[in-house]
Structure 1
Amino acid sequence: MKHLARKMSTAVATVAALGLIGAGTAQADSLTGWVGPAGSNGSGVLFLNTSTIINAPDLKAESKIYSAFGQTVPSAEIGVRARLFSSGALCEATTYRYNTGPAAQFTHKTTNTCGAGWYNSHGYTAIWDGTSAYKEALTLPTNPLWWEPAAARSASPAPELTPESIPTGTNSAGETYGSGASAATDADLPDLVAAIGDDGTTVGFVRSADLAETPAVNPAEASKQSSTERTIPLFDEDGQTQVGTFTLT
């Protein structure tokens, strides 16, 4: 099988040839997606969520959950799992983090970058239902925002990775592969999700089962959690040939 995992390369081009990209690098910016419903807790407090992509001073994807009318909830009752996509490929995904004290809102963000490109934010939120489980909700995705490393800005780099360049299909083992950027739930993800490896350049696929991140069992357990990084294999589209690793931060 031909391996589609590859290294992203950049090509120097003139600003005239890359007018749209050049225009995107001119100033710091942020974009916030539509507000969506995040559910309610056991006391009937209604929560909303949203995601934001910010390109300066550092690139970050934020996801946020907040009560609709400013009510506070106890520690560890609301949580966020942030995700950063670069041109349709997963650049970073965090594990769940929870509020550490009484709060009306909670935000968590990514910190990684994956080279010059168009980035968007599309995360998850969770709220304790008051009895037995956290209820998860997906934030609505932001529109894409251009970001590039400061050292590359004068060269106007053109990234090889684009949404159109991410292959989609079914491999010989019957596993689906492609971008997970538009999936409404974890269940809607392809079996193999396009991702950029820990080296920041290798584009491959991670198993959706490996990406799955369930909330804590209850607030008592959530309050004990700290940063729980875990590393999973990055494969070619055949789902067998390992080409790198991807770390959930």
Structure 2
Amino acid sequence: LGLTVAEAAEMTEAAKRAEAVTLVPFTYRHMPVMRWVKRLIDEGYLGAPHRLGMRYFTGFAREGEYAWRFDADVAGSGVIGDLGSHWLSIALWLMGDVAEIGAVSTHTVARADRSDGRPYERTEDGAVMTTRFADGALGVLEVNATCWEGTPFGQTHHLDAHGRDGTIHATCDWDTVQEVRGVRADAPGPAAVLPIPDDIWGGARRETVHDTYRDVFRVEGAMVGEFIDSVRSREPCSTDFAHGLRVQQLVDAAARSAAGDGALRPV
């Protein structure tokens, strides 16, 4: 939402005073894979949750040219804020609030100077965040921008969730794979495909992920449609500034942890 918690809090308070309807565009929760995972969890497929693992692999940091994304003055943080904010938003949505967070990070690729030669603080291109949710479940959220995935879109998403009553695995390779697998506790494995229901797909094309992405937002009206409905009803969006502020608090706490000893701390 902002470069710092203070900025995000100021924006949130200003919007509250103005009684404005707000939206932070956390897009991935609107994709069919994540919506299906959310429904399964809400309907009790996991039972009491034990852990959540999420991995976001992409390769835009593999080359060492200057990029604003890795300039602390411009971006605030590296992949913890850039990619990790999306994962933290989804983790809150799936598992509830985070009680503790920690992180470790790395600067794998040497980054070029600014074009004008001015020095700057290089931010992280890879990070692993650990969380303890309010209900005691654990989370491991990995984000890395130095990974070669070899897919047309250059990124892949992976999710694993385990609970007392079942297990869910989800994969989106941003090419042709949008798949959720699951196995119930005490049932024989391996996890089997759990087809995404037609009502979640809606009218979106299914052949390639990028076509699905286009249709979810440009045809089905996800996110923007919610914003318009919220303007009409005056009900808050699911990812309003208050949600963005909470994500910003987690991002900042993770960045502080990564700059220190990486330990879990209350947040």
Higher relative contact order at CA 8 Å, sep ≥6: structure 1 or structure 2?
2
- TM-score normalised to structure 2 length: 0.28
Query: By percentage of residues, which structure has more helix?
Result: 2
- TM-score normalised to structure 1 length: 0.29
Query: By percentage of residues, which structure has more strand?
Result: 1
